[in-house]
């Protein structure tokens, strides 16, 4: 295992003084340390991280990106049309979720886990693999150096356990003491009759743990896309209330979806964002939500209403009103970061096919009720 000290010191020795990224638990140690040292940019998504790193490196300096392979798709556009096209070399440290054995990881990592190397080969981008037995980042970067010298970006693919991990302390919010799980318990009766989509991470775990429902759509993976998925549902099933349970980090990752929601203006769409200022399930790193006014963004994007809530009662009032009135509506719940979740993933009890079919049947049954 490569220690955090070795990882960060080696970056400094190689003059890599700008690192941008999206949290991954495999790199939680370096991210925490680099953040503390002021050397890390928390990017909205993987593609933005690579673009920022390219900007930092365009004059000839060194830069790097940290991400996990589930977000490789977000990286491909700037990788193929920016860094490779303009010859701006960047080191990309990427975790290998779902590799070498996808059965040892969660189902959302299976496809990318077995395809990461082939995708990079297909676009002609060099890569080196950092095994769990690695102890020194310097020897790994020695392999990468030949590609950087040729003005080629290079991926350092990290196997689980290759880098020391460290969980960051939870971010403080204005609603200290308000827990997401308590909000979910309180609003459960309000969700009856609605089609519920929950974002990846602990929100889906807690929703399943609290409700035990087999008719909600628990989105594992696809971070940042719960709102877009819910928007598609709402537009095709206009008579069924659609409630999207989102997270601050996920909402920021593809914030432009809020503009699409406002433009499409589905009256049956309710967007509930739990804002705890952290990426809980990837190591507790801070998001940029403290400088983001979600309610202001929603109003500017065309939502019918947007409300910030700091108590269970406020959330219940806002959600109840949203379900009664024509939307789209945004409800932001300021909650505290709860650390490691005590709840299991929905896929511990159901397959992804079960989740899909259970949710589809909920839509069909609600539509039948309204047609009868």
State the Cα–Cα distance between residues 284 and 302, nearest whole angstrom.
Answer: 32
Given this model, what pLDDT does residue 282 score? Answer: 82
Token code pair at residue 298: 């929603």
- Residue where a domain stops, chosen among 128, 158, 188: 158
State the Cα–Cα distance between residues 271 and 98, nearest whole angstrom.
Answer: 31
Report if residue 63 sits inside a domain. yes
pLDDT band (50, 70, 90) for residue 245: very high
Q: What is the percent of the chain with per-residue pLDDT over 70, rounded to a whole number?
A: 97
Residues 66 and 210 in one domain: no
Query: The pTM is what?
Result: 0.91
pLDDT band (50, 70, 90) for residue 30: very high
Residues 275 and 222 in one domain: yes
Residues 128 and 40 in one domain: yes
Number of domains in the chain: 2
Instruction: Spell out a b/e string for 246-285, using b for 16 or more CB atoms within 10 Å of the CB, else e.
Output: bbbbbbbbbbebbeebbeeebebbbbbbbbbbbbbbbbbb
Residues 127 and 199 in one domain: no
Contacts of 156 (CB under 8 A, 6+ apart): 91, 92, 93, 94, 127, 128, 130, 140, 141, 144
State the Cα–Cα distance between residues 343 and 25, nearest whole angstrom.
Answer: 18
Report if residue 163 sits inside a domain. no
Report if residue 175 sits inside a domain. no
Helix (H, G, I), strand (E, B) or coil at 275: strand
Report if residue 153 sits inside a domain. yes
Report if residue 236 sits inside a domain. yes
CATH code at position 23:
3.40.50.970
Q: How far is CA 37 from CA 17, 34, 206, 347, in A?
A: 10, 5, 33, 38
Residues 105 and 151 in one domain: yes
147 in Cβ contact with 126 (< 8 Å) = yes
In this predicted model, what pLDDT tens digit does every residue of 164-191 receive, in sequence order? 988 766 555 555 679 999 999 999 999 9
In this predicted model, what pLDDT tens digit does every residue of 97-124 receive, in sequence order? 988 887 787 888 888 888 999 999 999 9
Q: What is the percent of the chain with per-residue pLDDT over 90, rounded to a whole number?
A: 82
Report if residue 12 sits inside a domain. yes
Which three-class secondary structure string do you get for 120-154?
HHHCCCCEEEECCCCCCHHHHHHHHHHHHHCCCCE
Range of the domain at 298: 180-371
């Amino acid at each position: 295992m490569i220690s955090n000290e070795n990882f960060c010191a080696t970056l400094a020795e190689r003059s890599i003084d700008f690192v941008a990224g999206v949290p991954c638990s495999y790199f939680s140690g370096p991210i925490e340390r680099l953040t503390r040292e002021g050397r890390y940019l928390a990017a909205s998504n993987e593609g933005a991280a690579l673009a920022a790193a390219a900007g930092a490196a365009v004059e000839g300096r060194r830069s790097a990106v940290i991400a996990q392979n589930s977000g490789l798709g977000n990286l491909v556009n700037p990788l193929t049309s920016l860094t490779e096209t303009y010859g701006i070399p960047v080191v990309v440290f990427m975790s290998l979720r779902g590799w070498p054995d996808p059965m040892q990881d969660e189902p959302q990592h299976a496809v990318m886990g077995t395809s990461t190397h082939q995708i990079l080969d297909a676009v002609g981008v060099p890569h080196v693999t950092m095994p769990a037995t690695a102890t020194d980042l310097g020897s790994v970067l020695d392999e990468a150096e030949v590609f950087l010298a040729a003005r080629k970006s290079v991926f350092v693919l990290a196997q689980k356990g290759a880098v020391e991990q460290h969980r960051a302390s939870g971010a403080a919010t204005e609603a200290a003491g308000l827990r997401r799980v308590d909000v979910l318990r309180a609003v459960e009766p309000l969700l009856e009759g609605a089609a519920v989509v929950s974002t990846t991470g602990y929100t889906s775990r807690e929703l399943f743990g609290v409700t035990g429902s087999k008719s909600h759509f628990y989105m594992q993976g696809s971070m940042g896309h719960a709102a877009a998925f819910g928007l598609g549902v709402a537009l095709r099933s206009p008579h069924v209330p659609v409630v999207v349970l989102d997270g601050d980090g996920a909402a920021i990752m593809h914030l432009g979806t809020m503009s699409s929601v406002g433009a499409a203006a589905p009256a049956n769409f309710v967007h509930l964002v739990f804002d705890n200022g952290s990426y809980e399930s990837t190591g507790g790193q801070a998001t940029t939500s403290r400088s983001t006014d979600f309610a202001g963004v929603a109003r500017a994007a065309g939502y019918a209403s947007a409300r910030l809530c700091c108590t269970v009662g406020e959330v219940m009032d806002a959600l109840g009103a949203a379900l009664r009135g024509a939307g789209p509506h945004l409800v932001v719940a300021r909650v505290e970061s709860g650390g490691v979740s005590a709840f299991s993933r929905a896929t511990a009890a159901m397959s992804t096919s079960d989740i899909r079919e259970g949710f589809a049947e909920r839509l069909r049954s609600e539509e039948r009720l309204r047609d009868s």
